[in-house]
Chains A and B, each alone.
Chain A
């Protein structure tokens, strides 16, 4: 068990380009979350999956953002037509099933810089 894995760790892109991030959760974790963290702030919820179903999306997730979790395994987060305001750390977390509480294990994140 190597923990939550995110790829890439860093992404630099030009405004207007599309970017895609990948998250591999801990094996057998059925819940997967995406958060965004800007400098000096706590993580902000973006969206969450239980298995392959996307159960909740934040208002922060504009039409330019889309997330998928095919087959309930890894997940991708795509940002289309990136803007400078999208620059942030994108964090993925996963939770095991049938646990008391909501223990979320975070990956190291993907840092996005939009030039």
Chain B
């Protein structure tokens, strides 16, 4: 019940395209859903996060869509750039505890 399943494992997008990464969770107690970006040799960096009382949150080129009934959420990266090439992790947790991470998606944006 603690799993977070993330897809796809890898994604190749052309510059200017839209990158979409999906996650599904099982534990209905989760109430915090962040997305992290990780470059090789670095720790994960928080990109954007959402709570289940809203269905969408947008920050710049990054948008989270959240479907509480389906227990799914997704990250959309608009106008993808080569600098966005990284590994992206979704995560889920409660307000003050541990995060459970997805398996990660390796995004490659071709110029």
| Among B34, B89, B97: residue with most chain A CB under 10 A | B97
Contact of B43 among A42, A58, A101, A107 (CB under 8 A): A107
Nearest CB in chain B to that of A6: its residue: B43
Nearest CB in chain A to that of B100: its residue: A45
B-contact 0/1 string along A49-93, CB 8 Å cutoff: 010000010100000000000000000000000000000000101
B-contact 0/1 string along A2-32, CB 8 Å cutoff: 0010000000000000000000000000010
A-contact 0/1 string along B58-98, CB 8 Å cutoff: 00000000000000000000000000000001010111111
Q: CB-CB < 8 A to B36: which residues of A?
A: 106
B44 touches A91 (CB 8 A): yes
How far, in angstroms, from A108 to B49 measured CA to CA in the complex? 20
Count A interface residues, CB 8 Å.
26
Count B interface residues, CB 8 Å.
27
A42 touches B103 (CB 8 A): yes
Contact of B96 among A41, A44, A102 (CB under 8 A): A102
Nearest CB in chain B to that of A48: its residue: B98
| B→A interface (CB under 8 Å) | 4, 6, 32, 34, 36, 41-46, 49, 51, 89, 91, 93-104
Given A101-B32, A102-B96, A103-B34, are A44 and B101 also a contact pair (CB < 8 Å)? yes
Q: CB-CB < 8 A to A103: which residues of B?
A: 34, 46, 49
Q: CB-CB < 8 A to B6: which residues of A?
A: 42
Nearest CB in chain B to that of A95: its residue: B96
Contact of A43 among B41, B89, B94 (CB under 8 A): B89
How far, in angstroms, from A9 to B42 measured CA to CA in the complex? 10
